């Protein structure tokens, strides 16, 4: 193996799923400016994420469409004529 291939600055970091307020702590090298006080009373770096295993449809079994930019509607409008012709 190559020497010095992996980073050495691993530390405990709190990740927070913003869709359901689920938080977990793990070791990471991610850079962040925010911090949070964890259950043990210590302060840790905080990383906010949009989706985790607690909110992802594959893991929850719930098919919930998260469309923040209107991409699905844009696609449907673009191909509306083609779709209507095909279903006649």
Per-residue pLDDT tens over the stretch 1-58: 788 888 888 999 999 988 888 899 999 999 999 999 999 999 999 999 887 767 766 5
**pLDDT at residue 65 is higher than 80:** no
The alpha-helical segments, DSSP class H, found in 10-79 are 57-60, 71-78
Query: In the prediction, which pLDDT does 39 show?
Result: 92
Per DSSP, helices labelled H in the chain are: 57-60, 71-78, 80-86
CA 28 vs CA 10, 13, 45, 46, 65: distances in Å: 5, 6, 10, 11, 29
Does residue 73 register a pLDDT over 70? yes
- For the entire predicted model, the pTM comes to 0.61
Distance of CA 31 to the CA centre of its chain: 16
21 Cα distance to chain centroid: 12
* pLDDT at residue 15 in the model: 93
């Amino acid at each position: 193996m190559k020497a010095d291939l992996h980073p050495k600055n691993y530390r405990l970091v709190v990740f927070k799923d913003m869709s359901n307020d689920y938080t977990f702590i793990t070791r990471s090298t991610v850079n962040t400016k925010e911090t949070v006080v964890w259950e043990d009373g210590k302060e840790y770096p905080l990383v906010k994420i949009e989706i985790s295993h607690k909110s992802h449809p594959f893991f929850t079994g719930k098919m919930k469409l998260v469309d923040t930019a209107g991409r699905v509607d844009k696609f449907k409008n673009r191909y509306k004529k083609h779709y209507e012709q095909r279903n006649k």
